[in-house]
Structure 1
Amino acid sequence: MVEELLGLVNRWIEGFGVLSQGWRVGVMIFVMVFATALVAYLMSHLIRAIERKFDKTRNLWDDALLHALRKPVVLFVWLQGVYWAAEVAHHYSKAEVFRANRTVLELGFIWVVVWTLLRLIKQAEKILVSPLKMKRPMDYTTVNAVSKLSRAVVIITAALIVLQSLGYSISGVLAFGGVGGIAVGFAAKDLLANFFGGMIVHLDRPFKVGDWVRSPDRNIEGTVEHIGWRVTTIRTFDQRPLYVPNAAFTTISVENPSRMHNRRIYETIGIRYADMSEMATIVSEIRSMLENHEEIDTGQTLIVNFVAFNNSSLDIMVYAFTKTTQWVRYHEIKQDVLLKISEIIESHDAEVAFPTRTLHLPDGIQVSSPEARESEGRAAPSQNQTAEKAESAGQAK
């Protein structure tokens, strides 16, 4: 078919008798490349126009499909145009380099399909996690894990098809991979442990990107920034990145404070022993204040009780939960609660206790103040002064 078309065009140009064969080939190749560029330009603008039209519909997946197809379609048009131009050049020049035209076209077509699928996966990922496009957006960590796995499947499948197109036996490659996989498994066991650890994190989802996590077993605490297949990136509270191998999460305990329902206020407040008579009233008013506080969750455990005779104080336990889980807001509420407890204690002429000691002395022993000792020293002459006066009197006699 190609030869017939080329012969027809060649005879038509040859009838004019103004161009040599080399010029005729150059003109045909130029026309084909120009036509390819024109078709690619028109296809790109056509798909853009269809995208703008479909943007007005409620279906999001047609927009994603068109956006994923636009650039690969342009590439496919160029592949076809260059292939036919190379076929023309090969027909007249018989150069060895053009014998690979069909193989290049096959590999290019595989790349177009792979590129389209990768772009479609990326668009689907954006749609599924977007709160603006989905009424109930999916968890970013889960979607990210599925998209990574899908990309890996597409790339591995494409690589096997490319090997088959180049003349390699896929069965031999798979057999070699099975034997080599054993050696690689022993050599890269830590890498594989991290990979499967990342898979477990993606499947079990003990945390997701944006969660505040910490481990009582390790010095790990911060906000999760990225969950990879080898390491998880955690931004510590002093803004330093911490890279934790995923294998660690299979052997340590991980606490996720971001998923708590409430934050706890747990304080022990002591008043003086002298205020024992006001204890019952103070406890009752503190409990009433917490029950009526708008930021305290009364549906959770709430305890206010006199719990202990301490060394220097009578201890009151205050145990309650706030409605908020935000760290900054929690401390504002806790400050308000403690200030109101202080006001309740002061309203009963009581005081918050601090460490003190009482010293009991036997009867008959008195402790005078420094001022009293100083005044007694001025009133009574010292023994030295009395001796001096007696000595001076004897000498006078």
Structure 2
Amino acid sequence: MIEEAPSILNTWIQDWNLLSESWRVGLVVFALVAGTAVVAYIASFIVGAVERRFQKTDNLWDDALLHAARKPVVAFVWLQGVYWAAEVAHHYSEAEIFSVNQTILQIGFVFLLVWTLLRLIKQGEQILASPLKMKKPMDYTTVNAVSKLSRTVVIITAVLIAMQSLGYSISGVLAFGGVGGIAVGFAAKDLLANFFGGFIIHLDRPFKVGDWVRSPDRNIEGVVEHIGWRLTTIRTFDKRPLYVPNAAFTTIAVENPSRMHNRRISETIGIRYVDVSGMAEVVADIRSMLENHEDIDQDQTLIVNFLAFNDSSLDIMVYTFTKTIEWVRFHEVKQDILLRISEIIESHGAEVAFPTRTLHLPDGVRVASNGKPAKGRSDSDSSDEAVDEDVEQGRAPVSGSEHSSETRGDSNQADGD
């Protein structure tokens, strides 16, 4: 009935002799376009009303289907109405443009079908990845990858159907694509490497959008913003975008700190050698504090031991894991633990060691004012004893210019005697 509409209208135009033929054709074309506008409005209203009614139900997919089909349905009404108007005009006009009406109708129908499918895929992507619509939402990276692949399949299929409608042989196109694909593969090997790199990322899922990643092999560290088929966008911690070709991820190691279960605290704390007697109590209290700390994961390794005799300290190893993996919260917990360790060390009368050096001088060597040791004389024992006596009585300094000059004076006097 729909296909016979243009012929019925043409018969009516020929039988209606009240106006000239050109006026009759113009009125019919105008009536068809106006009627198309009215029908399109009615169709949009009906689909919108049904969509609003279905939004009250718990089923999300009927809402997605109606929302995806609303605009294509209106476009289909316009396509069919304009096609009828063009067919009527073509019957009374020899314009070359009207000779492709049927082809345009077929290609337009394919376009509308593809448009509907793409909109439906987008709606499905939003539903599957939304925590508000799904009790157990799927991973956004996986949903996005499947969505991109589905859109690619739909578009390629639509292009082949459109080429078939235009008179091209699909078998010839596929054969040409097989031969030309080899040349294109060599010419665009980097592009293809990035494409398959993106496919491997979507398949293996070493990271997803929102993860913090870094590579020990390359200067790559930041939060993943987007995973494309050619590039992955990473926002560094100084807020600069970093665009990494996907092929790079097939040859480098990638760390994903976002998937860690705990954060580690590993510190070496030294106390003085004079506090060695309280070492056992200090170690025991630090271990007890960590075992009762609410932010320390007791299911993970916890080590607090006297580690080594260092150059200036007695080292204690503190090795444990926090429950939180959040970066800011981790440092708050670590600060609290270090402060508690400091309080434990002070409570035992000990102190945290710092680098020191003790210099032992042999007997009879004193430090002069210029910082160099001055040797005592073996042939002036009386002078040395006098100097030592003065030192003991506080009349002469152990080191300094007076002591140095007095010693030199005694030496000269002794030499003169």
The residue that corresponds to 1:68 in the other structure is 68
1:208 partner letter = K
1:6 has 2:33 as partner:
no
- Partner Cα distance (2:404, 2:7) in 1: 139
Q: How does 1:146-295 map to 2 (within 5 A)?
A: 146-295=146-295
2:187 partner letter = A
> Is the deviation greater in 358-367 or in 74-83?
358-367
1:199 partner letter = F
2:194 partner letter = N
8 Å CA contact retained: 2:268, 2:317: yes
1:69-112 deviations in whole A, cap 9, x for unaligned? Answer: 00000000000000000111111223322111100000000000
- Partner Cα distance (1:175, 1:382) in 2: 108
* Residues 1:322 and 1:369: Cα distance change in structure 2 (over 3 Å): farther
- Partner Cα distance (2:244, 2:6) in 1: 63
* Residues 1:4 and 1:344: Cα distance change in structure 2 (over 3 Å): closer
- Partner Cα distance (1:379, 1:223) in 2: 71
8 Å CA contact retained: 2:369, 2:404: no
The residue that corresponds to 2:296 in the other structure is 296
* Residues 1:378 and 1:72: Cα distance change in structure 2 (over 3 Å): closer
> Is the deviation greater in 182-191 or in 68-77?
182-191
- Partner Cα distance (1:181, 1:162) in 2: 21
Cα displacement (A) at 1:377: 6.5
> Is the deviation greater in 275-284 or in 359-368?
359-368
Runs (4+) off by over 3 Å: 1-4, 364-371, 373-383
> Is the deviation greater in 25-34 or in 300-309?
25-34
> Is the deviation greater in 85-94 or in 149-158?
85-94
- Partner Cα distance (2:152, 2:407) in 1: 104
8 Å CA contact retained: 2:6, 2:87: no
* Residues 1:380 and 1:168: Cα distance change in structure 2 (over 3 Å): closer
SS at match of 1:243: strand
Cα displacement (A) at 1:10: 2.4
- Partner Cα distance (2:7, 2:363) in 1: 134
Cα displacement (A) at 1:226: 0.7
SS at match of 2:318: strand
- Partner Cα distance (1:318, 1:352) in 2: 14
- Partner Cα distance (1:261, 1:375) in 2: 66
2:287 partner letter = R
- Partner Cα distance (1:272, 1:24) in 2: 110
- Partner Cα distance (1:193, 1:374) in 2: 78
SS at match of 1:56: coil
The residue that corresponds to 2:133 in the other structure is 133
- Partner Cα distance (1:347, 1:101) in 2: 95
8 Å CA contact retained: 2:368, 2:401: no
- Partner Cα distance (1:7, 1:352) in 2: 104
Cα displacement (A) at 1:52: 0.7
1:349 partner letter = G
- Partner Cα distance (1:174, 1:51) in 2: 41
8 Å CA contact retained: 2:195, 2:246: yes
The residue that corresponds to 2:374 in the other structure is none
SS at match of 1:42: helix
SS at match of 1:336: helix
Cα displacement (A) at 1:6: 2.0
> Is the deviation greater in 87-96 or in 292-301?
87-96
Aligned-residue Cα RMSD (Å) equals: 2.2
* Residues 1:287 and 1:369: Cα distance change in structure 2 (over 3 Å): farther
| Structure 1 residue runs without a partner (length 5+) | 388-397
- Partner Cα distance (1:4, 1:378) in 2: 131
SS at match of 1:357: coil
Cα displacement (A) at 1:283: 0.3
The TM-score, its normalising length taken from structure 2, stands at 0.88
The TM-score, its normalising length taken from structure 1, stands at 0.92
